[in-house]
Structures are given as C-alpha cells and as structure tokens.
Structure 1
Amino acid sequence: MSTTEFEEYKVDHLFLLIGKNPLPNYVATKLLLHQGGTAYLVHTTDTLDEATRLKKSFGSEFNVELRSLNHYESDAYHIQKEIGAKLDSIKSGKIGLNYTGGTKAMSAHSYRTLFYEEIQDKTGKVYRRRKGIIFSYLDPRRLEICIDREDNERERLKVKPDTLELKLETLFQLHGLTLQKRPSQEAQLLELAEELVKVFASKGKVQQWFDWYHDIFCKEARHDNRKWKNKTELAKLAIPLDKLPLEIVDAFRKAQLLNSDDKLALVQAKNITFFTEIEDFCKWLDGIWLEHYTLQQIKNIANSQSITDYGLDFKIPLKGTKDGFQFDVAFTRGYQLFAISCTTTSDIKERNLCKSKLFEAYLRAIQMGGEEARVALVCCADEPDTLKAEIADTLSNKKIAVFGRADLLNLSDNIIKWIVDNDREAR
C-alpha cells in the first residue's frame, strides 16, 4: 500500500460520520489517520452495528471511540454538543473530519462545529474559522479523497488500486455478512471448461452439446421432477458420449472421467477433491463450468490489472430468505468491488433469467460496495448489447457490463477493457 501523497493530510484525530455503508469510513480512516491515531465514529442508534463492525475491522491499528447521537441525527444542537465536547477535550495533534457518511444534517452540523471556534473579544463571544482542521470526503464517481483546503480550493487525491487493498472477506465483514464457506481461487476442470467455451462459441456444436446434455445426460441423472438422483444411483451411471463433439469427449478422457468403455462414469468425479458429492459435478456440467472459466480469466490478469483479491461462489445467508444471495465470481481492485454473475442460457425466451441475475447482483454489489461498485453478466446470449440496453433504463449504464457468446473466447481481454473503461470514467 502506497499512501505517500496522503501524508500531508493525515491526522491524529479523525471524526467520521457513520452511515449504512461503512466502506467509505473504512477507506477514509485507512488513508487519513496516522497509525495509532484515534478515530471517533459518530453514529446514530440505527448505525450502531455499522460503527461496531468498523471498529472491529481496525483491530489494534487505530484507537477507536464510538460517539452516539442516539436518535438525534437531525438535531443541530445535539450534534454540535456531542462533537464539540469531544473536540474540546483534544489538547494536541492534528484533527480531521471526514463527512462522507451519515445524514445531511449530520454532515452540515458536524462541519460547522469543527469549522468555527468560539472566542471572547472586547465585544463578547464571536466565531472564527478554526485553524488546522482537515476536512475531507470520498468522491465515489472519481475514486478520490477530496480535501477542503483553507484557501477555499479543493485538493483531489486519487485512490489508486495500489493505494489501498481491500480483501473481499473484509468487505463482507464490514456489512455483518458471513460466508457459508471459503471462496475458491482455483478453477476446476479448466481444460474441459475451455473446450466448452469453444463449443458454445459455435452454434452448430453448442446444439450438439445441448442435445446430449438434455436428452441423454439429464434423462439418466435426473428424476422426472428435475431433481438429481441420489448419490448411490448417480454412482452407478455410465453415460454414452457418442453424440458429443469429439473435443469434449477428449477433455472428459484427460480429466479421467471415462470408464473402459469410453462412457462418462459419474463415480469418477469423486476423485476430484473439489466435488464432495457426485451431484456437485452434475451441477458443474449444468453451467457452473462457466463460473470456473470466468474465475480463471480473472486470475490470468490479476497481476497486470492490480486485482487485489478474487474468488468463486460467494454464498451468503440472509435472514428471512431461503437461499440468501450469491456472487458467482467477484474481485476487488483497490477498494472497488467488481461482481460477476454467470449463466449459460442462450435461449431468447430466457432473457428474463439473465436480467434477473444481473439485477440481483447489481443491487447487492451497490449495497456492499457503494456507488463505486461495478457489475457484469457473463452469458451465452448472441445480442449482449441489446440485453444491456433493456436493463440500462433501470440500472446505471456506466455500472454494468454484459458479455455474450462472442466475448467468451477472449473474455480476459474483455474484462481488461471493462476495467480500463471504468478507469476512464473515473478521471
């Protein structure tokens, strides 16, 4: 992490206004508070949990005090009294206020409290501008920390990917979310996934795949109600491959999934550590292979694109829901979240499925990563631009990307372009 350009504006005491998304406060504290300094997390009754999680995330790096406004987040007198009392107790060290979070009233009255100081002169009590206070906020559109200087100018400091690295696990913890399992960073059956991408890029061969998958594989491996058969039944299956493209058969063979009769022996999947149950392999064939392929494309460009952390299958339980929610693939670049949803559907009748997956990923990503978050759909649609246009009226066009069938073979290059375009928009 390189924060040299922030050194001039680092403080020993930093007041922060806590909103429902603690990420901006995390970024500001990491960049603007000296190690061992004190962060004052000004929260309301409704944001106590966010402030508590934020405090926990800092560990022993900073001293942290929680300053509660209780239910008075719009009460000017109470805000000024609470912050002013703490301010008066600080006898030494540089002081700062980051007013990115909280309500508008909290921002206005906190700013006013730190901006003016009361003094006594010959005419009585007067107010003057307090010297040396560093006022700042985070600009999510330009990925910048903005400093309000005393000469009424604004200093903009770019938060570059190597300025602050954020782990995905930390981001989830800031929001009080616990992953069901540790996300994988290793793609499984990569060679088979790469051959499937080539097949899906060819309309003739992809039809061969679907004919085999639906008419042969699923009829053998599923019950009539569409559920997978139990593990004992699946272990007995040896499925013929004579109607499959030869490159897929060869990929099955290289993965040691065929028996002596060159049939797909599902029991062989148990030899692959990733698949704890045979059903997991069935689900992989059902479309999860595209997630693994996408993960590998991100891994290929991680170093060159300053990608901080990445992973596959982020399953998160939520109270009141049966399945919670899931990011198929996600990565962070600096503190910015990129979430990707994947689906192999290519039927125009199933466009609503594509849109619903993208819509859910968008809502969750913005909720966690703020306005800086970006979301993409990797699918097998022939007209991804049309699909994106149908969604753009509802979602922010600049925050979403849709990669279709023609993009799959060069997916890593397309993801790089997505990142570059994002950087260009932030200038």
Structure 2
Amino acid sequence: MNATQFEQYKVDHLFLLVGENPLPNYVAAKLLLHQGGTAYLVHTTDTLDEAKRLKDSFDSAFNVNFLPLNDYESDAYHIQKEINTKLKSINNGKIGLNYTGGTKAMSAHSYRTLLYEEIQDKTGKVYRRRNGIIFSYVDPRRLEICIDREDNERERLKVKADTLQIPLARIFQLHGLNLKKNPTQEPELPELAQELVKVFADKAKVTQWFDWYHNIFCPEARKENRKWKNKTDLAKLFIPLNKLPSEIVEVFRDKQLLTSDDNLALAEVKKIGLFTEIEDFCKFLDGIWLEHYVLEQIKKIANSQVITDYGLNFVIPLQGTKDGFEFDVAFTRGYQLFAISCTTASDKKLCKSKLFEAYLRAKQMGGEEARVALVCRSDEPDTLKAEISNIVSGNKIAVFGCADLLNLSDNIIKWIFENDRGAK
C-alpha cells in the first residue's frame, strides 16, 4: 500500500459520521486511523446496521465505540452533548473527524463541537479553538481525501489505485449483501467467445449465427415454453451445423464436440468437462459467452491497471425480489467499483434499461465513485450513452458497442484512463 502521504494526518481517535453508504467511512478509517486506534461510529437509529457492519469489516484492526444519536440527528444540543461526553473520556492521542457521511446537521454540529471547546473564564462560559484536530472528508468526484488545515486551506490527498485496495466481497459485506455463490474468475470457452466476437463484427456472419441459433439450435434444445429441455433429453441431441460460420464450427471441432458427420453432440459438453451441465453450455450460446469474453479482457489487463479483484456472475439476493440482482462482470480498482452489464441484444430500449439498472445498483454499493459500462451489440453506442446522460452524468457511464468488441481490453483501459483524468 502506497499510503505514506497519509501518515502525518493519521490519528489515534477518529470520529466517523455513518451514512447510508458506509464505504467512505471504511476508506477514511483505513487511511487515517492508526492500527489499534479507536473509531467512534456516530450513527442514528436508521444507520445502526451500517455501523455494525463497519465494526465487523474492521476485523479487529481498530477498537470501535458506538456513539448513537438515536433520532436526534438534527438536534444541535444532543449532538454536541454526546460528542463532548466522548471527548472528555479521551486522555491522550491525536483526534480526528471525518464528516463524509451522516446528515448535514450532523456534519455541521459535529464539526463545531470538535473545533471549539467550552471553558470557564472570569466572564463565564466561553469557547476556544482546539488545537491539533484533523478534519477530513472523502471527495468522490476526485477520489481524494481532503484535509481541512488550520490556515483555512485544503490539503488534497489522492487515493490512488495502489493506495487502498478493497475487494468486491468487502463492498458487498458493508451493505449487508451476501453472494449466493462465489463469482467466477476464470472465463469459460474463451476461444469460442473470441470467435463469436469476430462473427459479431461481420454483419453477414452474425446473420448466419442468429439464423442457426434461433432456427436450428433452439427448436431442438428448448421446450415450447422456451425453457431448456431436461439434461436427459439434451444429452440425446445431435444438432446440424447448417450454414454456421466456419470459425465457430472449427472451435466445436477443436473442442471435440462434433460427431464424424459434423453434428454438434451436446452430450460431449459434459463428458469432456467443459461445463458441469449441458444446460450451462446452452446458456453460454444464448449470450453468456459475452460475459466470459469481457471477463477475459479484464483478466488480460488486470496487472497493468492495478486491478486486484474481478469476477463474473455476482448474484445478489435482494429483499422483496425473486431473483435478486446480478452484476454480469465487476472489478475494483483501489476502492472504486466498476460494474459492467452485458447483452448480445441491440434493442435500444433493452440496452438502456440494463445500463440504468446496473448504474443504480452500482451507485448503491460503490457510492458516487462507482462507474458503470454496458457492452452490447449496438451500432450507435454514443447515441445510447447520450440518451441516458440526461439522467446519469456522462462521466459515470460508458457504452461499448459492436465496433468496440474486438479491441475491448484497449477500450476498457481508455475508460479507466478517462476516469482517472476526470478525477483530477
């Protein structure tokens, strides 16, 4: 961790105002609180759960004191009283306040309480400025921690990708979300996905692909209700490859999935261990292949772009929903969440819907720092982005269309670079 610039601002006691998104609190504690120091989690009744998850996330690295305001988050007297009581119990060590979270009233009154102490002199009760308090907040637009100096200037400390690396599981845990299963980190059938990308770049070949898939493969492999047939029936299928692009046929042949008369034998998929179930292979052909292609592109650039955690198929249960929500592909760079939604569709309405839903979920977990991209088959990705930019700030989203797929890893690097440049 390259965090030497934060050393002079580290404290032994850090007051944290807990809001609905605990991620900034976690970042502030990791960068501004000495190991073994004490975090004071100033929370309301509504943010008690967030405070508890923060405590759990610290993994005994810090001592934790809860400082409940209950339902008095806008009560100046109550806020001052609670913080002053805690301050009087601190006998030594450097003190700080990070006021990123919480309500505006909590920020204002907490700041004022820590900035001035009440004393008695000949004239009675007066206030004087405390010395040595470190005031800070996390700036999500610039990816910086800002330190308020005593000369009324502001010190901006860049939180670079190698300064603090937070895994995806930690971000989910901070929001009380447990994944249904471990995400996939190794792409499946990358050779087939690569060839399908090349096919999708050729209008004639992509027509051939969809003609084979919808008119030959699906009628054989699906029931009338569009669900896949059971594994016994799927294992009996030998599907002709009429007019299928030769590149795809060659991958099937190389993977030993063809019979002697060049039919696709679905039973071989499970027999040679390509997929656990034949239905998974059917889903792969149905469009999941694009997610695996994107995962392969992320994996390829991970080291050069300081991406330490990435994966596919983050299935997140959500209360009140049947299936929850799924991030197709996601990675963290530093503490910043990047989420990518994938679809082989070109329908504008569907593409916009997927992008917007992914953005809402990513913002919920990654805050204002979160970035979202859509990888799709659109020939007009810029138009798609423009049409949603009136709802979502354009610098927080990206759209990669058909023409971007062949060089997707380079385009993702460019996206990351533009994000870094915009955060300066």
* TM-score over 0.5 for the pair: yes
Q: Normalized against structure 1, the TM-score is what?
A: 0.98
Could you tell me which residue of structure 2 aligns to residue 155 of structure 1?
Answer: 155
Report the residue type matching 1:62 in the other structure. F
Could you tell me which residue of structure 2 aligns to residue 415 of structure 1?
Answer: 412
Q: Distance in 2 between matches of 1:308 and 1:165?
A: 7
Q: Distance in 2 between matches of 1:285 and 1:146?
A: 48
Q: Distance in 2 between matches of 1:206 and 1:97?
A: 57
Q: Distance in 2 between matches of 1:245 and 1:118?
A: 80
Could you tell me which residue of structure 2 aligns to residue 197 of structure 1?
Answer: 197
Q: Distance in 1 between matches of 2:44 and 2:270?
A: 52
Is contact 1:40-1:64 (8 Å) kept?
yes
Q: CA deviation at 1:122?
A: 2.2
Could you tell me which residue of structure 1 aligns to residue 331 of structure 2?
Answer: 331
Could you tell me which residue of structure 1 aligns to residue 37 of structure 2?
Answer: 37
Structure 2 counterparts to residues 220-259 of structure 1, below 5 A: 220-259=220-259
Could you tell me which residue of structure 1 aligns to residue 10 of structure 2?
Answer: 10
Q: Distance in 1 between matches of 2:401 and 2:197?
A: 11
Could you tell me which residue of structure 2 aligns to residue 357 of structure 1?
Answer: 354
Q: CA deviation at 1:293?
A: 0.3
Say if 1:273 and 1:324 are closer, same or farther in 2 by CA, change over 3 A. Answer: farther
Q: CA deviation at 1:221?
A: 0.5
Q: Which runs of 5+ in 2 are unaligned?
A: none
Q: What CA deviation, in whole Å up to 9, does each residue of 1:364-401 have, x standing for no partner? A: 00000000000000001111111111111111111000
Structure 2 counterparts to residues 157-176 of structure 1, below 5 A: 157-176=157-176
Q: CA deviation at 1:267?
A: 1.3
Q: Distance in 2 between matches of 1:105 and 1:417?
A: 40
Matched residue SS, 1:117: strand
Q: Distance in 2 between matches of 1:25 and 1:414?
A: 32
Could you tell me which residue of structure 1 aligns to residue 370 of structure 2?
Answer: 373
Report the residue type matching 1:324 in the other structure. G
Does residue 399 of the first structure (1) align with residue 396 of the second (2)? yes
Say if 1:272 and 1:193 are closer, same or farther in 2 by CA, change over 3 A. Answer: farther
Structure 2 counterparts to residues 1-400 of structure 1, below 5 A: 1-271=1-271, 273=273, 275-346=275-346, 350-400=347-397
Q: CA deviation at 1:274?
A: 6.3
Say if 1:272 and 1:91 are closer, same or farther in 2 by CA, change over 3 A. Answer: farther
Report the residue type matching 2:403 in the other structure. A
Give the stretch that moved more between structures: 269-278 or 286-295.
269-278
Q: CA deviation at 1:273?
A: 4.7
Matched residue SS, 1:14: strand
Q: Distance in 2 between matches of 1:394 and 1:8?
A: 41
Q: Normalized against structure 2, the TM-score is what?
A: 0.99
Say if 1:407 and 1:158 are closer, same or farther in 2 by CA, change over 3 A. Answer: same
Matched residue SS, 1:69: strand
RMSD, aligned CA: 0.9
Q: Distance in 1 between matches of 2:369 and 2:256?
A: 44
Q: What CA deviation, in whole Å up to 9, does each residue of 1:232-259 have, x standing for no partner? A: 1111001011311111000111222222
Q: Distance in 2 between matches of 1:82 and 1:275?
A: 58
Q: CA deviation at 1:353?
A: 1.0
Matched residue SS, 1:6: helix
Q: Distance in 2 between matches of 1:331 and 1:271?
A: 32
Matched residue SS, 1:330: strand
Q: Distance in 2 between matches of 1:214 and 1:22?
A: 46
Q: Distance in 2 between matches of 1:253 and 1:18?
A: 57
Say if 1:271 and 1:136 are closer, same or farther in 2 by CA, change over 3 A. Answer: farther
Is contact 1:189-1:255 (8 Å) kept?
no
Report the residue type matching 2:91 in the other structure. K
Q: CA deviation at 1:99?
A: 0.2
Q: What CA deviation, in whole Å up to 9, does each residue of 1:38-96 have, x standing for no partner? A: 00001011000000001001111111111111111111111111111001110000000
Q: Distance in 1 between matches of 2:158 and 2:37?
A: 23
Q: What CA deviation, in whole Å up to 9, does each residue of 1:126-185 have, x standing for no partner? A: 101100000000000000000001111110000000000000000000000010110011
Q: Distance in 2 between matches of 1:110 and 1:272?
A: 63
Matched residue SS, 1:417: helix
Matched residue SS, 1:46: coil
Matched residue SS, 2:21: coil
Give the stretch that moved more between structures: 232-241 or 115-124.
115-124
Matched residue SS, 2:224: coil
Q: Distance in 2 between matches of 1:259 and 1:129?
A: 83
Q: Deviating runs (4+, > 2 A) in structure 1?
A: 271-276
Q: Distance in 2 between matches of 1:218 and 1:286?
A: 9
Q: Distance in 2 between matches of 1:103 and 1:270?
A: 55
Matched residue SS, 1:340: strand
Q: What CA deviation, in whole Å up to 9, does each residue of 1:300-321 have, x standing for no partner? A: 0011011121000101111110
Q: What CA deviation, in whole Å up to 9, does each residue of 1:173-211 have, x standing for no partner? A: 000001011001100000010000000000010000000
Matched residue SS, 1:183: coil
Report the residue type matching 2:172 in the other structure. F
